[in-house]
Every structure is written in structure tokens, then in C-alpha cells.
Structure 1
Amino acid sequence: MAKENLLIVISNDNLDTILKFPFLYGGVSLPREYWKRVHIMFWGASIKTLKDEPILQEKVKELLEVGVEFSSCIVCVEEYGALEQLESLGIICNHTGELLTTALKDDKHWAMLTV
């Protein structure tokens, strides 16, 4: 059985990098049927960038419409004071280590990219 799920972990705080790689690829992956499930996870400094950049917030809304899933590290979110803002965008804020560990251990179903 081929891998069907893609987990993209973003910890980079560079706006251009986030827009031009994980958001671009993540956004076309479902419509083009590259993957059956795409999950983008924010961790660390990427959360501050997301909190501060309206263009990223708008892009999250667009990607949610095509079926991309989002989550964010609750510990980091709370450190940046971004919980209410990210949840209002439709981003699940939780202990992302659980999904990350599942994906790392399950190389039959999950592929991973880190940015």
C-alpha cells in the first residue's frame, strides 16, 4: 500500500518560504490528487509569523476550503498569545507531538516534510 497522507511541519518564520513552498504545495496536493490527506502543522516561530501576517491567515482560510487540515502546537501558541486568533481561523491547537509521533512511526501511511 502506498502512502496516502502528507504531514507538513512548519517551524520556519520566513513568510516567503511558507507561502512559496508548504502552502503552495499543500494547496495543490488535494485538488491534483497527489495525496488523500494533507495536514499542515505549525510549530515554533511559524506561529508568530502566522499571528502577525494577514496574508498567511487568508491563505489558511483558502486551504481549509480545499480540504487541507491545520494544527498548531498548543504550548507555542500560548507562548505567542495566539490561541484565540488561530482557533478563529479553524486551526486546531493541541499537543501536536501526538500526530507527529504517529506520522514518524507510520511510514506506510504518512510522508513528512519539514520546513
Structure 2
Amino acid sequence: MADRHLHILWTNADPDTSEHMVMMYATNGMLRGWWDQITVIIWGATQKYVINDEAIRARMDIAKKAGVTFSACIGCAVNLGTKDALEEMGIEVTPWGERIALLQQEGKHLLSI
């Protein structure tokens, strides 16, 4: 069976890109059955954006209800001081550097925004 798990590496904290690409595609990807699983990896400046913007958090809640999972890079979270806030939001904070390398090396589906 084909791998139907998409990872979205979300590094762009632009509100329009975040809402009209990342959240829209992730949510519709699950609701319309384009993917069996979608994991959005919150990386870099996007972590501060997620913590500080109520509108994007509302879009994330909609995506979560559709089945999208969210995870954040622990290295970024420690450096940016966002770890505790992300965890309080229920977002997994974990090492992603090596995992992203493995995803690419294994030919898995990774969309970088």
C-alpha cells in the first residue's frame, strides 16, 4: 500500500500563506481523503506566530478536528523560548532535524512552506 502520510514543514509565518495554504491544504487534505494522515511541523518563527495569533490558533483547531496533527521542533522551541507555551497548547515538542532528513532520504512525502 502506498504511503499516504504527508508531513508539512511550516516555516513561513506570513498570515496569508499560513491560512490560505498551510491550514487550508492540511484541513482539506484530511476532509477530502487526499491523505490518510497529515502532520504539520511548526518550525522557526512560525512557533511565535502560533503562540501570539488567535486567528491562526482557531484555524489550527479546525484542522485538528479534521484529523491533522501538529508537532514542533524542540531545538527551535528552546532557542525561541516557545516550548512551554506550545506544550500548553497540546502541541508535541520533539526533535525534528534528523527525522526530516530521514523522511527525505526514504522518499517520504514532505511539503515545505
The equivalent residue for 1:77 is: 77
The equivalent residue for 1:87 is: 87
The equivalent residue for 2:101 is: 101
The equivalent residue for 1:112 is: 110
TM-score (norm 1): 0.88
In 1: Cα distance, 2:36 partner to 2:9 partner = 17
Deviations 1:2-50 (A, max 9, x none): 3311010011121111111011000111111100110000111111211
- Structure-to-structure mapping, 1:62-73, within 5 angstroms: 62-73=62-73
Name stretches of at least 5 consecutive residues in structure 1 with no aligned partner: none
Deviations 1:31-73 (A, max 9, x none): 1110011000011111121121111122222211221111111
Is the 1:60–1:89 Cα contact (8 Å) retained in structure 2?
A: no
SS of corresponding position for 2:31: coil
Could you tell me the percent identity over the aligned residues? 26
In 1: Cα distance, 2:102 partner to 2:71 partner = 14
Query: Is 1:2 the equivalent of 2:13?
Result: no
SS of corresponding position for 1:9: strand
Amino acid at match of 1:58: A
Is the 1:13–1:46 Cα contact (8 Å) retained in structure 2?
A: yes
Aligned length: 113
